[in-house]
Structure 1
């Protein structure tokens, strides 16, 4: 390829790069690219420099021209400086007879890095700087993956590297977030396992049984752990051998994957070391292997065609059944648990420090940490993250549903709803429902949410002028077309940095990490449930297909359990109301005190105080009861009346005169009779669920005075 770029001759077995090269616009075919291309400065890096392909082999020159054009169409800048450096390396290799592959498709990053090292050593007598390595590395990421996919004429899943951005043949569901991440099947080292995994996962994706997110972020990791576990066997092919041994092998794999040290697939996984592995994660690993075995056993003829003569031909349904039987059932019942709930104390710290995320990196602002210490910190310079986390807090949506929602995500509501809102700026928010096809994807939102969205829309129009954005939150770089959402990895990284600076802790002293944003979904749904929202309304708001899943998100808070219990104990026998504050509820610890359960009600006396009333509960202000004890109270009233009748008759017979009304015994019994009468009358009211004692003012000794000392809260 020197001088004029000649059109290659057609051949019976034409290299697949040539149809792609012929489809390029004329200015992109070379041998010098740049002249006559509109907006060259905007779509390329390195200012006005041209891409020089003179002197390169025809196939490599065509490949580089296609990759440079693909980058421009993808919305990133064409890596002109990196391509020119690669061209210089290859021209020097040709001149000095240094060997190199015949195409970019055969040249992976390891080979290219070695060529670059040779080039710098022979020409500059030094190692290549890190910047030069990073610049050339970009070429062998997305652009080369796109080239491999475009030149591949077989099934897409036959490739070792999958990335929907580079290969549009990979099926994505209509409601799945735009996949900005790929996966590499080459991480499975055994070729027989890799071939079966590619066929199985590709078929599941094409049929819609599995989604891209599940395949790339879950199933592949499970099969990689299975691949690593095979190293512990003397002969890895034993897992496909005798079906009678499959049960023992599955049990051994379950024990192995239950050890957190064995689950490490990358350096970031070190943070999980020492933590117990949940049974659900162990089940996922077992289920992934079992389903692969079942898929091969169900399709023996296709397996012979796709996989050829391989160890998989011995797999039967007995293998899969043995692995499935090792999947243990996880009880559905939950203990009282609020580990995913963000309480008011932590939420106040988060919202107060949120401006740090949107502040410029060159600016320092004061921040109060969770321990109360005032520090000065540099801003994180990303107002998009500030608004995304705020929308998650306000709406309880998943991170992907906010991060990938449409730019025009607000719609008007009917006039009847506007009138009912009484001045509230009501709108219908359409989020990017990404998980459940049959679930709704809209919720009603108020002024706080609409203002945040409007502010983000103005920010996008200001920073991305002249574009028609697809998403409300945009990728800042490499997104000239405005069709890429904010990257999930960057979002998590910013929130992790924010957590490290602010060091948020909740009211119980536990750290709250914002990198786990799903906790805000738990918090929002818990708050709505505690407000008394009907379950079908809560399910609709959460976007769940079943109410069971919605209830899974509700935090079982001890504090709310006590409040809900005491909320039923609020009516005295004389009809007046008694209220309990949150501190009172915390001080009582009623649900933990078995000695406060009475035959006909409960005693609200604080644990640190003792009772001197004996059995005179009906005239004590600490006595409470409800309708569940109505039969006991009726029987007690009848017994009291019979006791009064017998005792007054015996007094009349013995003393020849009636028992006086101020008799100390009679006064107490009359007080209990009156209290029982009032209690039962109040419980007979259909609107009353519970009552409190001390409703008789005739007792010679009044209610026991009690002062709830909230300062003792939390003390033993």
Structure 2
């Protein structure tokens, strides 16, 4: 074989694939010349400058495959580079006429080998080498998505048997309707050890087909850890020892744990320490792979053939699972690392016009995330027609304000709700974006609210989350956004806006089940995980508990006391003019004599009610004493039972009002927003602990 002969990739082409490709191609796309007669040809080929696709001089199979790849690009919305396809056809035809070895199929053609052929044919015809830019373009056009799609179409084996997986190129891959990682792929073929590589494909493919794992889970975590497992195993002296001796399973698992914990082996961490959760996830994924092979031992021999997996026993996966350590523990008292404070939001708002000039879509996506707390994927895949009128009790509760129902792309929990109520500000952002899309894609029926701006002639692709994150990362570097402590803020970490929105709703006093519904979580525990424990809000809530007893003296609560009041949040302890601190297990025998009760407290939020009650009490005393005087001809005695009670209530009200007017506290209105500035008071945070038994 000559040194410049074409080498081929190991993936074989289907024997009957030619008929399959011809069945996919319309009549206009078959033959040696394909061109302007096709509807939309000029609009989707090199910005209207393209001539015909010329495939003369090629065998039927190569001609059909090149035409199929160009047709796939055409349907996918990518502009077809006719000149590049023509030059590829010319290079292949030159190899045939010059007596050089030609590939059997474009699906088995190796990129590096073809580039050598292309340079040789170019030099023989023009007397010079092609530019590097031309070579790079060939790599993108022929050996990217089009070739991957061709390989998948010609493949007769299960889809998971291929080395590269991508839903865009292989429709056989099972993915959810709203799959946030639809535009991303993974490459199990990167595994170095053959018997490990085939096991990874079989395991991950079966988990995906059975619904045990989703495409997002496979691509974001499982495949990452499985490939890392292969890298670690390749560094050992004898990889087959993994399955041979069960007694060494513990030592091997410990070795993998140490290797996984080393930041040097995880380039994505950039030298940062590896979290305990990540290490546990890696061990768990490998143990799942081993358990899967043990549970399907007979099928393993059929699918993978003879391999070291035949020696695997139930002991190895059990031992590897034991390496998973418990990461229990309470979080810090203050946890606001994912909270975007007002200082940061002010900078973001100031810089939004700059972002809008370069990328108006990203600006509106960022606004929606800030205003609604949706995930980035839920905004990226949002439908174009995502607004509907709010009806029923929602309209009544809005009290005349404009509200609408926003349907977002719920992408994580299939059973969770996918709509929330939004105000006029959110509606304005969405309507502005809808008009922008209609202007950019005239004559089409847009599917997504935020379409991909390039390689999307049909307008059927949404903006990808990685591309959105890249835009925000560049924007945050330009405007140099920092938080109130001077720390840089990377806007590409958009999930912090979700934390912030849920935290602010929680601080407004929304019940947990309402937070869960708004966030679209499966359980309230996850919703509370999103609520930042901010020191500022803790102190505000602490100061807001300043109360007054019936004798006008102030009641001081510690933070633990305040939390306890929230835990015993009983409706029967809320009075029209204050609160009852009677323990929940005790009953009240005083009737309505709260003003003279030692466990009655109130605050300045009830000032108007108490003042009105004082006025009514004084009027009642004056009216009844005057009636007594007129009836009996003498004043009502001071020891009269009724007068004693009313006088005590009047005196208690007078003391309460005097105390609250002389020492105003920090009342809370409605959902709990403080309406006045902080009041300097002395708070003893030690005494209540010392007096406890």
2:50–2:82 Cα contact (<8 Å) kept: no
1:336-394 superposed Cα distances (whole Å, 9 cap, x missing partner):
211111111111111111111111xxxxxxxxxxxxxxxxxxxxx21000000110000
Alignment map for 1:248-647 (pairs within 5 Å): 248-264=251-267, 269=268, 272-331=269-328, 333-335=330-332, 336-359=334-357, 381-571=358-548, 575=552
CA apart distance, 1:102: 1.9
CA apart distance, 1:554: 0.7
Secondary structure of the residue that 2:240 maps to in structure 1? helix
1:173–1:208 Cα contact (<8 Å) kept: no
CA apart distance, 1:577: 8.9
2:546–2:554 Cα contact (<8 Å) kept: no
Q: Pick closer, same or farther for the CA change 1:629–1:99 going to 2, 3 Å.
A: same
Secondary structure of the residue that 1:427 maps to in structure 2? strand
CA apart distance, 1:175: 3.5
2:380–2:463 Cα contact (<8 Å) kept: yes
Q: Pick closer, same or farther for the CA change 1:227–1:128 going to 2, 3 Å.
A: farther
Secondary structure of the residue that 1:429 maps to in structure 2? strand
CA apart distance, 1:326: 0.9
Secondary structure of the residue that 1:194 maps to in structure 2? helix
| More off after superposition, 48-57 vs 89-98 | 89-98
Match of 2:150 in 1: 147
Equivalent residue in structure 2 for 1:199, among 196, 199, 202: 202
CA apart distance, 1:123: 4.0
| More off after superposition, 17-26 vs 496-505 | 17-26
Aligned: 1:66 with 2:63: no
1:257-301 superposed Cα distances (whole Å, 9 cap, x missing partner):
11111112xxxx3xx333111111111111111100010011001
CA apart distance, 1:551: 0.6
1:569–1:690 Cα contact (<8 Å) kept: no
Equivalent residue in structure 1 for 2:114, among 76, 101, 112: 112
| More off after superposition, 314-323 vs 521-530 | 314-323
Q: Which ranges of structure 1 fall in alignment gaps of 5 or more residues?
A: 1-12, 360-380, 581-589, 598-625, 631-678, 711-716
Q: Pick closer, same or farther for the CA change 1:680–1:14 going to 2, 3 Å.
A: same
1:171–1:205 Cα contact (<8 Å) kept: yes
Matched residues in 2 for 1:71 and 1:287: separation? Answer: 40
1:409–1:431 Cα contact (<8 Å) kept: yes
Secondary structure of the residue that 1:236 maps to in structure 2? coil
Matched residues in 1 for 2:123 and 2:284: separation? Answer: 51
Aligned: 1:159 with 2:157: no
CA apart distance, 1:690: 13
1:683–1:689 Cα contact (<8 Å) kept: no
Matched residues in 2 for 1:339 and 1:199: separation? Answer: 40
Q: Which ranges of structure 2 fall in alignment gaps of 5 or more residues?
A: 1-13, 562-579, 585-593, 607-654, 664-676, 681-693
Matched residues in 2 for 1:697 and 1:500: separation? Answer: 55
Aligned: 1:30 with 2:31: yes
1:376-431 superposed Cα distances (whole Å, 9 cap, x missing partner):
xxxxx210000001100000010000110111111112144223312322111111
Matched residues in 2 for 1:566 and 1:475: separation? Answer: 50
CA apart distance, 1:15: 3.3
Aligned: 1:685 with 2:662: no
CA apart distance, 1:113: 2.5
Secondary structure of the residue that 2:405 maps to in structure 1? strand
Q: Pick closer, same or farther for the CA change 1:197–1:85 going to 2, 3 Å.
A: same
Matched residues in 2 for 1:346 and 1:499: separation? Answer: 11
Matched residues in 1 for 2:91 and 2:83: separation? Answer: 12
CA apart distance, 1:232: 2.6
1:422-449 superposed Cα distances (whole Å, 9 cap, x missing partner):
2322111111111111211111111111
* Coordinate RMSD, CA, aligned: 3.3
Q: How many residues align?
A: 579
Equivalent residue in structure 1 for 2:214, among 211, 214, 221: 211
Q: Pick closer, same or farther for the CA change 1:128–1:190 going to 2, 3 Å.
A: farther
Q: Pick closer, same or farther for the CA change 1:403–1:195 going to 2, 3 Å.
A: same
| More off after superposition, 553-562 vs 178-187 | 178-187
1:175–1:437 Cα contact (<8 Å) kept: no
| More off after superposition, 174-183 vs 439-448 | 174-183
User: How does the TM-score come out when normalised to structure 1?
Assistant: 0.76
1:392–1:399 Cα contact (<8 Å) kept: yes
1:488-524 superposed Cα distances (whole Å, 9 cap, x missing partner):
2221111000110111111122211101000001000
CA apart distance, 1:578: 11
CA apart distance, 1:92: 2.0
User: How does the TM-score come out when normalised to structure 2?
Assistant: 0.78
Match of 2:642 in 1: none
Secondary structure of the residue that 1:491 maps to in structure 2? helix
Matched residues in 2 for 1:75 and 1:96: separation? Answer: 36
Match of 2:228 in 1: 225
